[in-house]
Amino acid sequence: MTAGLRTAPFAVADFADRAVRRGDGSGPEAGDFRFNPDAADAIRATARKDAAVLVGVIERDGGAHMLLTKRTETLRTHSGQIALPGGRIDPEDATPEAAALRECEEETGIPQDAVRTVGRLPVYLSGSGFRIHPVLAVIEGDPPLQPNPNEVESVFEVPMAFLMNRDNHHKGSLVWNGKRRYFLEMPYGDYRIWGVTAGIIRSVYDGLYA
């Protein structure tokens, strides 16, 4: 990497360099228990379904942007929410990387050969029962988008300069099953990025930029 790129922390090349150096998947688990320590044991006990998401970064207007989706309102779980492309790891998926690439192509239409994986973050445990493997990747060029209408309402991108700014990480809460639960949220324009997605994005910040 050139000295010039080192001064541009939100360039795609810098993201890839940080991911290669620090994104080996090691380290303590992250999860929804970050702000809910009383639920940590329950989350660890029930988060058993392996899933993978693609933390895909693409160059736009001279800066790195992260690819996100808005799920359709008709889905059974997390309908209408903002998400990273991803889903369950199937038996035929050799690795979390394979699952993340497959799911990204199925959801957004981005060909797998347009995506270069560069690292992985520690597992993220969700309160909905998933062990999520965040796969770090660079989306190369300007591949066509063809969102799957059965799963994805829209695909959009958010500047890394916004997502990696802690001033944009806000603590929210709601009452669920009679208890107040806390989570991160990162409102961006008309998009409400919150919950697991915001938690994984915060893991990107903690793992690569803090």
100 is a domain residue: yes
In this structure, which amino acid lies at residue 90? D
Rounded to whole angstroms, how far apart are CA atoms 130 and 149?
A: 24
Domain that holds residue 109: 3-31+46-160
Decide: 144 and 109 in contact? Cβ < 8 Å. Answer: yes
The four Cα atoms 43, 137, 171, 179 give a dihedral, to 10 degrees, of: -20
Give 70-88 pLDDT, tens digit per residue: 988 665 555 568 999 999 9
176 is a domain residue: no
Query: What pLDDT is attached to residue 74?
Result: 66
CATH number at residue 86: 3.90.79.10
pTM for this entry: 0.92
Mean pLDDT of 162-183: 90
Cα dihedral across residues 33, 133, 85, 15: positive or negative: positive
Q: 93: how many CB neighbours lie within 10 A of its CB?
A: 17
Domain total for the chain?
1
131 is a domain residue: yes
23 is a domain residue: yes
